[in-house]
Chains A and B, each alone.
Chain A
Amino acid sequence: MEKISTVTGVAVPLRRSNVDTDQIIPAVFLKRVTKTGFDDALFHGWRQDPEFILNQPAYRGASVLVAGPDFGTGSSREHAVWALRDFGFQVVISSRFGDIFRGNAGKQGLLAALVAYEDIERIWEVIEAEPGMPVTVDLVDRTVSAGELTVSFEIDDYTRWRLLEGLDDIGLTLREEEAIAEFEQHRAAWRPTTLPIREPAEAGN
């Protein structure tokens, strides 16, 4: 996972609440065998409308999504995070997130920043006044800055630490590499190994 400390990029105002994960990525895209390449699936239904905010040229290449309350509710699909990430988003800002979505985001290096709703409205006003203007999200100071405006956001200490260090669960476990290797040294010889392949005796059972 890439380390995140500050993200500066185009911010998209998504003036909708209760954006569930079915809206973020419809079920039909879950049959795929990859964990990448879901950018076309993101908000697939809404993107059929040419007026949809993500279709507007000013917001091309956006990396920060500023959404209404209750973002990422519903189905647990990790694909919702994959789709946002593949589209180019590094930060999602909302005043309330679906629990599972927030957990999944932390595991995949997507910063879910919790901002008070009145501050979200202030951010919307600023970025809508000048579409495409860059905003800066600072994970060290826990702030979002847009033009003259600076507001703070919340994130739990553990997730913040993992994002700053660029650690996914696997990265964290690999910090115990020495302990794992030590454990393996004492693994008894009788314990199973799949390789090299041993052929069964052909005398039936």
Chain B
Amino acid sequence: MTASSERPRTLAEKVWDDHLVKQGEDGTPDLIYIDLHLVHEVTSPQAFDGLRMAGRPVRRPDLTIATEDHNTPTLDIDKPIADLTSRTQIETLRRNAAEFGIRLHSLGDKEQGIVHVVGPQLGLTMPGITVVCGDSHTSTHGAFGAMAFGIGTSEVEHVLATQTLPLKPFKTMAINVEGTLRPGVTAKDIILAVIAKIGTGGGQGYVLEYRGSAIRALSMDGRMTICNMSIEAGARAGMVAPDETTFAYLKGRAHAPEGADWDAAVEYWKTLPSDEGAEFDAEVFIDADALEPFVTWGTNPGQGVSLSERVPDPAAIDDQHERAAAERALEYMDLRPGVPLKEIKVDAVFMGSCTNSRIEDLRAFASIVAGKQKAEGVRVMVVPGSARVRLEAEAEGLDKVFEAFGAEWRFAGCSMCLGMNPDQLAPGERCASTSNRNFEGRQGKGGRTHLVSPLVAAATAIRGTLSSPWDLEQAVTEVEAK
């Protein structure tokens, strides 16, 4: 650890400083210690193969945990996986975990699920630690005040072998969200608004710190939704300073510290928030009072507007590259400028992904659809983030609510967020999705994605057109009462 400097520091700088194994000199990178390495089946096989070729062990199996998520089916999970490539990747992970002594939660296990849901749920993700995973949405874990970011396969191998990474320091950006969200407006709407404001490249080279009264008021699940999509603004990581909400979430979880360790941890965690007067390299301000339910209309997560608006006209965009991108996006999305977003009909609703598949997300969705019927012809899929979330939801009877509504209740995994398993859109199908990427073909070749919150997904599933919970008078009253 370095001696605490006189200069006021940000949360990100504090976590960085406390993980310096060796400071870089003459332009060489710093060597940063990694507290927690999450592993899944898609980006790890070549990393393990590299270790095998070099005859290297995994340095710290006790700081490493693996699960199966990207390729896993969400139906018939007790049967062999039909897709050969998927099956091979999963079988390879199982072999590698056994050979290198790594804890693995396989399909069918109670702790299996999306890697970014599993870590926090087990109490492994905590304030002031460094977390990496061969997946760009590792930024999720920053919600706890951890420094968490995605890495490539060569770096996965590097962390397995050394438990460190050579890294150059990031710049810091404060995202200040002040005010109070109106009922029906959620964490997802905040982050979609942030990305629309700073753009998909706006966060490049930065660690984002989400601050302000609207962030403080969010639950951990909401904070995770926000940090999760930091990567969609181009940032490698996003963070929220730990507070009583963080501590309350962690206390009593399987791998959270206990007894004297807990007390020592909390004492340290309370020193982490950015110091008064700490300087950020950039600042952004968002007015929470003014936010409305948000939706994307294009093919990158920055192409979003309030749901009450109309499909934008590319001709009105000044920047020629953005204008060209908007024209291409509207063509792919089969949308005309000026059409009210609420008139757009959907074929499918996907409720899931590492952005929005935690128990609170499912409760929010259920609160809107309870006692209702889905719109005719709309396919609704609800995919919990982990096997444990599925169990919790069933214990609360949410599965019955979904099934009575006409939705499919699935097993845990990444599912239709990226369509590596059979959960895909057909060409031309339009989907309101609680996931994180609306790229061309992301949810299936030719599929069209509108990114939304769980509440908007629910309202849309009821009406069959992109809809805000504000369009359902009774539902809003219920949410307000919660």
Contact = CB atoms under 8 A, between A and B. Distances in A.
Nearest to B101: A195
Given A190-B265, A198-B254, A173 B31 contact: yes
A168 B55 CA distance: 14
A188 to B, nearest CB: 7
A169 to B, nearest CB: 6
A194 B359 contact: no
Contacts of A34: 45-46, 49
B286 to A, nearest CB: 30
Interface string B48-69: 0110011010000111110000
Contacts of B264: 188-190
Category for how many chain A residues contact B: 35 or more
Nearest to B96: A33
Interface in A169-187: 169-170, 172-174, 176, 179-180, 183-184, 186-187
B124 A194 contact: yes
A192 B255 contact: yes
Contacts of A191: 35, 126, 129
A172 B45 CA distance: 22
A78 B153 contact: yes
A180 B162 contact: yes
Contact of A180 (B62, B65, B163): B163
A168 B162 CA distance: 12
Give the interface centre of B49, B264, B392 by most chain A CB atoms within 10 Å.
B49
Category for how many chain B residues contact A: 35 or more
B307 to A, nearest CB: 31
A189 B85 contact: no
Interface string B96-137: 000000010000000000000000001111100100000000
A170 B359 contact: no
B22 interface: yes
A175 to B, nearest CB: 10
Interface of B: 1, 21-22, 31, 33, 35-36, 45-46, 49-50, 53-54, 56, 61-65, 85, 88-89, 92, 103, 122-126, 129, 153-154, 157-158, 161-164, 166, 252-255, 257, 261-262, 264-265, 268, 359, 388, 392, 395
Interface of A: 1, 31, 33-36, 78, 107, 168-170, 172-174, 176, 179-180, 183-184, 186-195, 197-201, 204-205
11 contacts: A33-B46, A35-B45, A176-B22, A183-B21, A188-B264, A188-B268, A190-B126, A191-B126, A192-B36, A197-B103, A204-B395
